[in-house]
Amino acid sequence: MLEKEQLDRLNELAKKKRDQKINKDELEELTKLRKEFLTNFRNSFKKQIEQTKVIDPEGNDVTPEKIKEIQEKNKHL
């Protein structure tokens, strides 16, 4: 997970890029921070989806089988 300082820096560089030109080093730093942010976001979202249970209006569990398999596998880890 990105630290608050890293997230602040990412936002600062993104705003600077929109408002004016940034130098090569800042662009490389921005690219690195974005990549790290997206990796963390994707991992977090994947974990959230893997822990989701879907219930239809009648109260039946309609969680997709693929998700159920992942949940069962994670129980045994």
Gyration radius (Cα) of the chain, Å: 19
pLDDT value of residue 74: 86
> pTM value?
0.74
The confidence score (pLDDT) of residue 77 equals 73
How far CA 11 is from CA of 5, 37, 61, in Å, comes to 10, 11, 41
At residue 21, the pLDDT reads: 87
Q: What would the pLDDT profile of 1-49 be if each residue is shown by its tens digit?
A: 779 999 999 999 999 999 988 999 999 999 999 999 999 999 999 999 9
Q: How many C-beta atoms lie closer than 10 Å to residue 33's C-beta? A: 19
What pLDDT is recorded for position 69? 92
